[in-house]
Amino acid sequence: MDVSCWDGTLSLNEFSRAARTFAEKWKIGNSAFPPWLWVNVPKRPFVASQQVDGFLSLENICLIRPSKVCGAEVSHLEEEETGFSEKEVAIDDATLVLSNHHEMHYYDFHIVYSASYRVPVLYFRGYYSDGCPLQLNEIEKDLPACSAKVLLESKWTFITQEEHPYLNRPWYKLHPCGTSEWMKLLFLGEAALAEKRVAIELYLVSWFSVVGQVIGLRIPIEMMNDRTN
Amino acid sequence: MAKQERSGGSILQFSPFQSFVDEGFWHRLSSLKLNKFGIDDSPIAITGFYAPCSHSQVSNHLTLLSESLPCDESEQSSVPAISLGNRNRCSVPGILYNTNTLEAYHALDKKSLLKEEAKKIWEDIHTGKAVEDSAVLLRFLLISFADLKKWSFHYWFAFPALVFDPPVTVVELKPASQWFTSEEADSVSVACNGWRNSSLTAGVPFFLVCIASNSHATIRHLKDWEACQGDGRKVLFGFYDPCHLPNNPGWPLRNFLALICSRWNLKTVHFLCYRENRGFADLGVSLVGEAVITIPQGWRDLQCVPNAVGWELNKGRHISRVINLAKSMDPAMLAISAADLNLKLMRWRAWPSLNLDELSSTKCLLLGAGTLGCQVARMLMAWGVRKITLLDNGRVAMSNPLRQSLYTLDNCLNGGDFKAMAAVKSLKQIFPAVEAEGVVMAIPMPGHPVSSQEEESVLEDCRRLHELVESHDAVFLLTDTRESRWLPALLCANANKITITAALGFDSFLVMRHGSGPLNSSNDVKAESEIALSGDMDSLALADSGGERLGCYFCNDVVAPTDSTANRTLDQQCTVTRPGLAPIASSLAAELFVDILHHPNGIFAGVIADSTNSGGGDQPLGILPHQIRGSLHQFSQMTLVGHASESCTACSSTVITEYRKKGKEFLLPAINHPTYLEDLTGLTELMKSASSFKLDCNNETDDDDDDDDDYVEL
């Protein structure tokens, strides 16, 4: 397909192929991270589609926050007393008492296909080590400095909160309304160097090179350069 | 680290298990509680998941997910379970006691519950079940209380561990790569990776590591213990260790040692704390240690259950945990964050200087809860306004729901609900976080004289309206008669509040913003001096000069407002208008209001000249018009400017001064006496002389919009 008449979107089938390519290249080029896994979505009974539906998942990415200075820190957990009069023996000599309370933030990322925009969308959520979800303002603190800038300045990337299309819980996502525009620009730029063809399998690799920056997941150069695979 | 003393080494200290509960677990529990369990609080069998440590700085957790709760046939996977295979999800049995009240939660006998679970482990060790299905060694306990009104969950984990008395001591503990020879280490890694990669064994957390004399290592199931004995063979007891610490093994080793010593009567145990990195065995992080056990008295006896410890500490303290998930589960809160994000989208994409804080904190008073009032209220809410007061003394009539967008048929029954109250209820149903109030009250009007018995209550209404105006930041005049707008206009001019009027004809409308008041209130001195300092003198509304102030709704009047409702034909009384008009006019009123809020000079803003030198220059606002008059007859619309009149019955300095000075002695005559206002302002004089007003228009004059007494609305 000629780049000049391409609208920057891709079909569900193309998405599945691009996802496979992306996951493979990620495994090879980005071994410091766990691999992206494909999750199949069970077909809904009233949907006539024959296509395989699913999304890419990368979970439990851990971010260690420097431990806060003790004092008037506000814990996200409300503490409460037991109301017990007897003193329970909680630990014995053989129990190590952990003293180092680093705060750990965990992140889950899903790359989901949006049928209405015909582009991939990055969904993500953060949570503390006990499972309590992180609010957006806390997540924003975890984002790399350059990403905050990108979010502020770019008209094309911003974070909204929406129901995850399959998990029925609120997740955050990078809004897809500008995706097709900048994907087209991206591919136009690359096509100038290489062929005029749109290598649709590489869609997600290119897409993630932009989107990943916002959430601080870098794509190594090797993943980008290898066009022949 | 390890404590000193004891012969044969220091006490082996185990790093406690840490819990992790995915949000999905609480969602699922809530839904099960609401739909299935009801008040049944019998214990529920649940499944926990864990995996060997995979990060050198972070321990792994015992994880609960929504799949941890029993599956319901009817809920058959509409939600995909992330099938990572069972290599990262080693299943562990647990039990959940979920109480119905907080008191019951605190009243649970934690000591005996722990003992009960410990007993189960003890029995599994003695019967041999723990050898067959070793995951039962990690049996855990969870108590919880789910507060489904506040969406908060109180919970507490216990990981029962049988206590050795005297405690187990450790002779040595070092990285596995240092303990094995390098050939052994390679072989062990290969064998472990094989064990981890096979779906048959990946979920088995306890195993034997057999190293033959030729350094070849194999991983065997616990039940193969006898077979592993042999010449020259080293046997280590391996387990998936969630802990990352270099000097301590993880919690699972505790019950493992209990199994080993009571099953196979060993006093010295070599163990392997198996840990991974990036999915592969990492013998540098994994530990090998030698433990020395003094088999406690009575451990042969099945009946003699050892003591157990294991309630999870909360940041070092022996207290319960609470997690609040209202933000992601409470629909009202979800609505709020959705609305906020929607507005932020607008700001990001189109209007960077959109001041959402200002919008959400501005208090708006809507006088009239009819076609205009309902629509304006909705539009304001869409803009993020959260504080809305509606005033109306009418009841919802049968014809209203069609045109008044906050009402439905239900509001019309039994004589009809009070509009102000029905409107507030409807607003809250649309957006629960709105702070909406209703006031059922009639607005005192000139030309509708009151008897002396009614005077007291009318004055009370005037006072109440005065206070309402004072306590809000912006007022919308949305009533259906001209005279009902008089007192509000006067009070707004007196208090110098942003005032927006919308009025409808049959197929034409007027939306306008009133100019600033004629006299300074103490607040305005500061605002005016700030504007003066900025050099923006053109737009400064100077008191008493009258000249540059923009006009109010009544400034064009040549007569004082009178009773317009008597002696009108039916259709005039019923104010029949084209249905499309009210939404158009209401929308313009709301948009005009938002623009005023964002104009640096606010109520003092002039019209064209000063909007170009406004602040950042990034206002996508064009002009900030004074009046917008539109007609559906020609689908046309134009903007006009009218300056304040010194003879205005509502906003001239004469009238305001008189109101401030004389209060009810001004109000009562104004209401009762037909010519009082005209005399006071000099309109009477004006009528006598043959002068005319000069109205400067931006566009061509529309003949229709000059004062036309028959045309009551405009």
Please name which of B179, B167, B175 lies closest in space to residue B12, comparing C-alpha atoms: B167
Nearest to A158 among B11, B320, B345 (CB): B345
* CA B201 to centroid of chain Cα atoms: 45
- The residue that leads in pLDDT, B43 or B57, is B43
Q: Residues B678-699: pLDDT tens digits?
A: 888 877 776 666 455 444 444 3
Residue A143 domain-assigned (yes or no): yes
Range A86-108 average pLDDT: 74
Taking 50 as the threshold, does the pLDDT of residue B5 lie above it?
no
Chain B residues touching A82 at Cβ < 8 A: 106, 318-320
Question: Cα(first)–Cα(last) distance of chain B, in Å?
Answer: 85
Residue A219 domain-assigned (yes or no): yes
- The residue that leads in pLDDT, A225 or B401, is B401
Nearest chain A residue (CA) to B59: A129
The model's pTM: 0.71
* CA B696 to centroid of chain Cα atoms: 49
Taking 50 as the threshold, does the pLDDT of residue A77 lie above it?
no
Residue A48 domain-assigned (yes or no): yes
Taking 70 as the threshold, does the pLDDT of residue A133 lie above it?
yes
Q: Residues A16-34: pLDDT tens digits?
A: 999 999 999 888 887 777 8
Query: How many residues are given for chain B?
Result: 714
Nearest chain B residue (CA) to A178: B349
- pLDDT winner (highest mean) among A54-63, B241-250, B685-694: B241-250
A59 to B82: CB separation less than 8 angstroms, yes or no = yes
Beta-carbon contacts of B592 under 8 Å, excluding residues fewer than 6 positions away, are B500, B511, B513, B624, B625, B628
Taking 50 as the threshold, does the pLDDT of residue B218 lie above it?
yes
Burial class (CB in 10 A: 0-12, 13-18, 19+), B368: buried
Burial class (CB in 10 A: 0-12, 13-18, 19+), B62: buried
Position A72 confidence tier, pLDDT thresholds 50, 70, 90: very low
Range in A172-176, B320-324, B612-616, B619-623 the model is least confident about:
B612-616
Chain A residues touching B294 at Cβ < 8 A: none
Q: Residues B156-174: pLDDT tens digits?
A: 999 999 999 889 999 999 9
User: What's the longest Cα–Cα distance across chain B?
Assistant: 129
Contact B647, B682 (CB under 8 A): yes
- pLDDT winner (highest mean) among A150-154, B39-43, B125-129, B437-441: B437-441
Please name which of A110, A146, A133, A121 lies closest in space to residue A218, comparing C-alpha atoms: A146
Contact B46, B69 (CB under 8 A): yes
Range B334-348 average pLDDT: 81
Token output for B119: 């007993």
Question: Cα(first)–Cα(last) distance of chain A, in Å?
Answer: 19
Query: How many residues are given for chain A?
Result: 229
Range A185-208 average pLDDT: 75
CA atoms of B130 and B239, how far apart (whole Å): 13
Q: Work out how many domains chain A is built from and give that number.
A: 1
What is the structure's pLDDT at B328? Answer: 80
B80 to A96: CB separation less than 8 angstroms, yes or no = no
Residue A196 domain-assigned (yes or no): yes
Burial class (CB in 10 A: 0-12, 13-18, 19+), B683: buried
Cβ of residue B106 closer than 8 Å to a chain A Cβ: yes
Please name which of A58, A50, A49 lies closest in space to residue A22, comparing C-alpha atoms: A58
What is the structure's pLDDT at A83? Answer: 43
What is the structure's pLDDT at B637? Answer: 93
Position B236 confidence tier, pLDDT thresholds 50, 70, 90: very high
Q: Residues B649-683: pLDDT tens digits?
A: 899 998 999 999 998 889 888 888 878 888 888 77
CA atoms of A75 and A68, how far apart (whole Å): 10
Q: What percent of chain B has pLDDT over 90?
A: 55
Taking 90 as the threshold, does the pLDDT of residue B289 lie above it?
yes
Chain A residues touching B78 at Cβ < 8 A: 42, 44
What is the structure's pLDDT at B86? Answer: 65
A contact test, residue of B58, B62, B169, B340 with most A CBs within 10 A: B58
Radius of gyration in angstroms for the set of CA atoms belonging to chain A, rounded to a whole number: 21
Nearest to A131 among B1, B16, B22 (CB): B22
Taking 60 as the threshold, does the pLDDT of residue B432 lie above it?
yes
Burial class (CB in 10 A: 0-12, 13-18, 19+), B624: buried
Half-sphere exposure for B266 (CA within 13 Å, toward CB):
18
Taking 70 as the threshold, does the pLDDT of residue B370 lie above it?
yes
What is the structure's pLDDT at A223? Answer: 63
The nearest CA of chain A is from the CA of B112 a distance in Å of 11
Nearest to B61 among A92, A129, A161 (CB): A129
Size of interface A-B (CB pairs under 8 A): 148
B314 to A92: CB separation less than 8 angstroms, yes or no = no
DSSP B476-511: EE--SSSGGGHHHHHHHHHHT-EEEEEEE-SSEEEE
Residue A105 domain-assigned (yes or no): yes
A93 to B78: CB separation less than 8 angstroms, yes or no = no
Taking 70 as the threshold, does the pLDDT of residue B706 lie above it?
no
The pairing of beta strand B140-147 with beta strand B90-99: parallel
Chain A residues touching B25 at Cβ < 8 A: 131
Cβ of residue B154 closer than 8 Å to a chain A Cβ: yes
Nearest to B319 among A80, A96, A101 (CB): A80
Report the sign of the C-alpha dihedral through residues B348, B354, B355, B360, in that order: negative
Please name which of B233, B169, B182, B212 lies closest in space to residue B14, comparing C-alpha atoms: B169
What is the structure's pLDDT at B711? Answer: 33
CATH of the domain at A193: 3.30.1460.50
Peptide bond into A133 cis (omega under 30): no
Position A193 confidence tier, pLDDT thresholds 50, 70, 90: low
Would you please indicate which residues of B are annotated as catalytic (active-site) residues? 574
Please name which of A113, A104, A11, A102 lies closest in space to residue A62, comparing C-alpha atoms: A104
Beta-carbon contacts of A128 under 8 Å, excluding residues fewer than 6 positions away, are A76, A103, A104, A105, A106, A134
What is the structure's pLDDT at A167? Answer: 82
- The residue that leads in pLDDT, B622 or B78, is B622
Residue A182 domain-assigned (yes or no): yes
B13 to A93: CB separation less than 8 angstroms, yes or no = yes
Range B458-482 average pLDDT: 95
**Residue B686 is which amino acid?**
L
Nearest chain A residue (CA) to B344: A160
What is the structure's pLDDT at A149? Answer: 67
Range A96-109 average pLDDT: 80
What is the structure's pLDDT at A51? Answer: 61
Radius of gyration in angstroms for the set of CA atoms belonging to chain B, rounded to a whole number: 40
B contact test, residue of A27, A88, A132 with most B CBs within 10 A: A132
What is the DSSP code (8-state) at residue B211?
E
- Which domain range does residue A41 map to? 3-224
Residue A229 domain-assigned (yes or no): no
Taking 60 as the threshold, does the pLDDT of residue A169 lie above it?
yes
3-state secondary structure of A127: strand
The pairing of beta strand B627-631 with beta strand B508-513: antiparallel
Q: Residues B416-431: pLDDT tens digits?
A: 999 999 999 999 999 9
Chain B residues touching A155 at Cβ < 8 A: 348-349
Report the sign of the C-alpha dihedral through residues B528, B533, B534, B539, in that order: positive
Chain B residues touching A70 at Cβ < 8 A: none
Q: Residues B392-414: pLDDT tens digits?
A: 999 999 999 999 999 999 999 99
Contact B434, B427 (CB under 8 A): yes
A93 to B279: CB separation less than 8 angstroms, yes or no = no
Q: Residues B373-395: pLDDT tens digits?
A: 999 999 999 999 999 999 999 99
Cβ of residue B163 closer than 8 Å to a chain A Cβ: yes
Nearest to A88 among B154, B311, B348 (CB): B311
Taking 90 as the threshold, does the pLDDT of residue A53 lie above it?
no
Range A212-216 average pLDDT: 78
What is the structure's pLDDT at B137? Answer: 95
A94 to B167: CB separation less than 8 angstroms, yes or no = yes
The pairing of beta strand B498-504 with beta strand B474-477: parallel
User: What's the longest Cα–Cα distance across chain A?
Assistant: 77
Contact A119, A176 (CB under 8 A): yes
